[in-house]
Homo-oligomer: A and B are copies of this chain.
Amino acid sequence: MKKQLDLTLYLVLDPLLCEGINGMVNTTKIAIANGVTAIQLRSEQTFSGKDWYYAALALKETLKGTPIPLFINDHVDIALAVDADGVHIGQSDLPVDVTRQLIGNKKWLGFSISNHQQLNAVPWQKVDYLGIGPIYPTATKKDAAKALGTKQLTELVKLKQCPAVAIGGIDESNITDVIHTGIEGVAVVSAICGKKDIQQATLSLINKIKQAK
């Protein structure tokens, strides 16, 4: 059965910030107990196929029996290998239609866009949700496009034809502004990964989202 697609607070796990697989598993446990609604595994550094596989397997096991879906960034083979709940791809990854064909309709498909032009080119029937960003400058994604800001985000939110998460440089200082654009949810990396108090970091974000909605 397909897990929920609740984008409210979407945690992108970075193995470097979380200090490895165990760190990602621990972060996930605390984060989902305190309100995170979706988990994505993403690695910007050199992570071998084997590393990806065992990390994804550990996270899949961690989320077993919960309604929280596991998304795999870029690596469709890893998503298939561990039977993840979804895949998240960007503009430089496998094309959307090819990805959809590989994963079928039982997995969620997320797709990143950074501007109006990319939004206009989205094949809406093949995509379940969008990642829109970066909203603010970010240090965790090397190939990130120019920051959009909340004004441009508001325009994109009006035009989109599926749910979306905003991503890129979002933390407790600006999350309220992001939610006020009307977007369904927010994706964070360093606002949770690597924080000394994962519980406090998660609760702080969740509370701000609730207040803003």
Contacts and interface: CB of A to CB of B under 8 A. Distances in A.
A74 B89 contact: no
Interface in A66-84: 74-78, 80-81
Contacts of A98: 53, 81
B102 A80 contact: yes
B77 A75 contact: yes
A48 interface: yes
Contact of A81 (B78, B92, B102): B102
Interface residues of A, number: 22
A196 to B, nearest CB: 32
Contact of A94 (B53, B74, B94, B95): B53
A81 B98 CA distance: 6
A52 to B, nearest CB: 8
Interface of A: 48-53, 74-78, 80-81, 89, 91-95, 98, 101-102
Given A49-B74, A81-B98, 5 more contacts: A49-B94, A50-B94, A77-B102, A80-B80, A81-B101
